[in-house]
Amino acid sequence: MRVLMLGVYTGSRPGAIFNASWLEGIRLSFVDVERGVFHRHAAGKGETNKRQPPVRLPRKLVDHLRRWRKADFGKNQPYVVMFDGMPVADVNKALARACRLAGIEPITVYALRHTCGAWLATKGVPTRHIAEYLGTSESMVIRHYGHLHPDYQKDVAEAIGRK
């Protein structure tokens, strides 16, 4: 459940989700519940081509995160996503099984990032803002989600009908 909600509501890559911690620390992504920000790029970790800017957490997700953090602190669980007291590195097998049981096509955790981008586009969020939120280029957002935007080719369609 936690993986699904973090993936869909933040558009984060799986690595940032599985590395997410309630505590600030070296090599940890940090979920700052008090300020409502997910610092996806782990402190002390080198830069890569995959941008991971901090992302503002949606209000609904913050409420869940607060509840989860409260439950975890009593068990000394520093990571947001854990199983049997250990951080989780992959849930794709479990997710594939859940999809099979539900009678739907299997998805991966990375697909949740695409769901986030698609939902933002269909809600009319400017492509530049979607790119900043996902930590990617605007051209990638336009290429993958542009056709879902309610204003997709609106100006062109109106222009072709004018004298």
Per-residue pLDDT of 87-127, as tens digits, reads: 898 898 999 999 999 999 999 999 999 999 999 999 999 99
H or E element in which residue 156 lies: helix 154-160
Confidence of residue 22 (pLDDT cuts 50, 70, 90): very high
Contact 7, 113 (CB under 8 A): yes
Is this prediction's pTM over 0.85?
yes
Residue 55, exposed/middle/buried by CB under 10 A (0-12, 13-18, 19+)? buried
In the chain, what are the domains? 2-160 (1.10.443.10)
For the chain, percent of residues with pLDDT exceeding 70: 96
> For a pLDDT cut of 90, what percent of the chain falls above it?
72
SS3 for 9?
helix
- With b for 16 or more beta-carbon neighbours within 10 A and e for fewer, the 33-48 pattern comes to beeeebbbbbeeeeee
Give the distance from CA 16 to its chain's centroid. Answer: 9
